[in-house]
Amino acid sequence: MSLSDLFDGDPFVPAQQARIEPIQQRSTARLSGLLDAAAIVVDEVGFDRITTAMVAERAGASIGTVYRYYPDRVAVLQALRERTVLRFRNRFAEQLKTSAPKHWSEAVDVAITAFVDLYRSEPGFRIMHFSDRQGVPVAEDPDTGYFARRVAGMMVEAFGLHGGDELSFRLEVAVEMGDSILSRAFRSDPQGDERFIEECRAVTHDYLAGYYGPSVR
């Protein structure tokens, strides 16, 4: 999983990955069961060793059922990615509510903490971000940075900062940097190398603080 995913598409509305939308009740359970299985298999055998047969067996389904919902193998992984992004957003929003940060820098920490938590608890999270850099061909949407602009709006609203294009840009860069450092933190340590995690917080704060000026540090 990569934080840069947050800039693709409309947040809180998962992309249409399934071949045919499920109608009956049981099939939504099937669908999430398939993704659960995919996450576990990805953790076990790695990203490119995964086979549709493994996913099907792990989910207690047949091959045909997998293709009932997904056009091909990579679509399954993309859907898993979508779902995990959604889970991050939900967790972030939730923890923003409970912690009610008074300052934007606290919100940054909340985001990092949520991300780290998912790295540690969510199956497949560590592995998944390998897929993301190959430009997702879905809907040539030039509205990259949508989520960043959204966050910018949140910041402006919540903390009375001045927003605009420059803020969007800065936030996108900050997210990109933070993602790469966290990814490094978990590359060889399942619990995450604390040194890198701390540096991620520091770098992100400093970078954004530099924009707002040292007064907000």
Partner DNA sequence: GCTCACCGAGCGGAACTCGATCATGGGAGT
Partner DNA sequence: ACTCCCATGATCGAGTTCCGCTCGGTGAGC
Q: Report the C-alpha gap between 35 and 20 in whole angstroms.
A: 16
Pick the stretch among 26-34, 36-44, 87-95, 144-152 that binds DNA (CB under 7 A): 26-34
Site for a copy of itself in 105-134 (CB under 8 A): 127, 129-131, 133-134
Q: Are 108 and 208 in contact (CB under 8 A)?
A: yes
Comparison of 77 and 182: residue with beta carbon closer to DNA? 77
Binds 129: which of DNA, a copy of itself, none (CB < 5-8 Å by kind) = a copy of itself
Q: Are 42 and 125 in contact (CB under 8 A)?
A: no
Pick the stretch among 30-38, 58-66, 113-121, 167-175 that binds a copy of itself (CB under 8 A): 167-175
Residues 6+ apart with CB under 8 A from 27: 69
Q: Report the C-alpha gap between 82 and 94 in whole angstroms.
A: 18
Residue 71, both tokens:
């056009």
Question: Max CA-CA distance within the chain?
Answer: 60
Site for a copy of itself in 172-191 (CB under 8 A): 172-173, 176-177, 179-181, 183-184, 187-188
The identity of residue 205, as a single letter, is H
Shortest distance (Å) from residue 24 CB to a copy of itself: 33
Binds 26: which of a copy of itself, DNA, none (CB < 5-8 Å by kind) = DNA
Q: Report the C-alpha gap between 105 and 44 in whole angstroms.
A: 36
Q: Nearest 5°: CA angle at 185, between 45 and 113?
A: 105
Comparison of 57 and 199: residue with beta carbon closer to a copy of itself? 199
Residue among 20, 24, 135, 213 that touches a copy of itself (CB under 8 A): 135
Helix or strand run (H / E) with residue 22: none
Residue among 12, 16, 46, 72 that touches DNA (CB under 7 A): 72
Q: Report the C-alpha gap between 203 and 212 in whole angstroms.
A: 14
Q: Report the C-alpha gap between 113 and 195 in whole angstroms.
A: 14
Binds 127: which of a copy of itself, DNA, none (CB < 5-8 Å by kind) = a copy of itself
Which spans of this chain sit near DNA (rule: CB under 7 A)? 20, 22-27, 30, 50-53, 60-65, 67-68, 71-73
Which spans of this chain sit near a copy of itself (rule: CB under 8 A)? 4, 46-48, 74, 127, 129-131, 133-135, 142, 144, 169, 172-173, 176-177, 179-181, 183-184, 187-188, 195-196, 199, 203, 206-207, 210
